[in-house]
Amino acid sequence: MVAVTDDLPLPARRFSLGTAIRRNPTIAIGTVLLLILVAIAIVGPYFVGNPLKIAPVNRLRPPSERWWFGTDQFGRDVFARTIWGSQVSLIVGLSVAAISSTLGLAIGLACGYFRRIDGLVMRIMDGVMAIPSILLAIALITLTRPGLGIVIVAIVIPEVPRIVRVVRAVVLSIRSQPYIESAIAGGTRNTKLLLRHVLPNTLAPLIVQSTYVCASAMLIEAGLSFLGAGVPPEIPSWGNIIAQGRTFFQIAPWTILIPGAFLATTVLAVNLLGDGLRDRLDPRLARRL
């Protein structure tokens, strides 16, 4: 075991879990919470029974030993529905983060590096950002058949400009650096220059920004489903469960508060991870917040 000194970033430093947790408690808490939720989403559905089974005899039962989270107005088990609902949130959050980061990275690199397309593309990005994200998603959903895929696409579009702006800002600050100029002078081709010298610098802010996009995607999905414009009602998602609990909220508040708490915890976990990563990877930004 190599002694870990505080300030010198030794390249050969061995990884120690204890030190990592002590240094970045927010990353640790966020990661653990997220891993638990991912485990619930993957394993949970095998144990909790059918989330769609209707049993009118047992309607609106409060939480008890038999129904941990109570039942809704159709007698469906809120526990089973909430566990199944975690799948939708995680799928939407992760795929929106992955897709919009990839697209945003490509557009951001191109805009920052090839200055000729920059003006036009950034005006388009400004326009897309002027449309509130929920409304943009709603407009797309009005014109297509409901489904998980279209919800993901509808959330990706408003999130892409947020990534583009971050990546472009980094590229703009990098391209005036002497090592880029010398690489250009040395005859390095554009693709190699972008991939080898520019791209690596954008990764840290990109990762941080994509965790925030993931959190915001989960919130937008829940909001869309709550409005009836998200995933179809047959698929239990937290937003759908909350939407269906509205009518009986005053006598059965658990149908809303429990999935709501799960949603808040998930978003909290992703945000904690993002804040921790920002402090770790992007110290300049961390000092400002």
Partner 1 sequence: MTAYIARRVFAVLPVMAVVALFVFFLLRFAPGDPAAIIAGDDATSEAIAAVRAKLGLDRPMAEQFGLWLWGLLHGDMGVSIFSNLPVTRLIAQRLEPTAALTLATLFVSVAMAVPIGVVAAWKARKLVDRLVMGFAVLGFAVPGFVLAYVLIYFFAVQWQMLPVQGYRPVGEGLWPFVEGLILPSVALGITYMALIARITRASMLEVLQQDYIRTANAKGLATDRVLLLHALKNAAVPIVTVIGIGIALLISGVVITETVFNIPGLGRLTVDAVLKRDYPIVQGLILVFAAAKVFLNLLIDISYAFLDPRIRY
Min dist CB 13 to partner 1, Å, is 29
- Nearest-approach distance from CB 278 to partner 1, in angstroms: 13
Q: From the list 82, 87, 133, 237, which residue makes contact with partner 1 (rule: CB under 8 A)?
A: 133
Q: How far is the CB of 123 from partner 1 (least distance, A)?
A: 5
Q: First-to-last CA distance in the chain?
A: 35
Considering only 3-11, 73-81, 86-94, 214-222, which stretch makes contact with partner 1 by CB under 8 A?
Answer: 214-222
Whole-number minimum distance, CB 56 to partner 1, in Å? 24
Which among 141-149, 168-176, 182-190, 203-211 is the span making contact with partner 1, rule CB under 8 A? Answer: 141-149
Choice from 25, 62, 132, 283 touching partner 1 (CB under 8 A): 132
Residue-level length of the chain: 289
Q: Please, which residue, 114 or 249, has the CB nearer to partner 1?
A: 249
Q: Which is nearer to partner 1, 5 or 142 (CB)?
A: 142
- Position among 39, 43, 54, 131 found at the interface with partner 1 (CB under 8 A): 131
Shortest Cβ distance from residue 228 to partner 1 (Å)? Answer: 6
Residues with Cβ < 8 Å from 238, sequence gap 6 or more?
A: 82, 85, 86, 88, 89, 222, 225, 259, 260, 262, 263
- Please, are residues 193 and 210 in contact by the beta-carbon 8 Å criterion? no
* Nearest-angstrom CA–CA distance, 252 and 77: 13
Tokens of 106: 């490509």
Place of tokens 């992703």: 270
Q: Does residue 126 interact with partner 1 by CB under 8 A? A: yes
* Distance, CA of 263 to CA of 86 (rounded, Å): 8
Residues in CB range of 174: below 8 A, 6 or more apart: 112, 180, 197, 198, 201
Q: How far is the CB of 247 from partner 1 (least distance, A)?
A: 12
Please state the closest distance from residue 79 (CB atom) to partner 1, in A.
Answer: 18
Give residues 219-238 in contact with partner 1 (rule: CB under 8 A). Answer: 219-220, 222-223, 226-229
Binding site for partner 1 (CB under 8 A): 123-124, 126-136, 138-145, 215, 219-220, 222-223, 226-229, 242, 246, 249-250, 253, 256-257, 260-261, 263-265, 267-268, 271-272, 275, 288-289
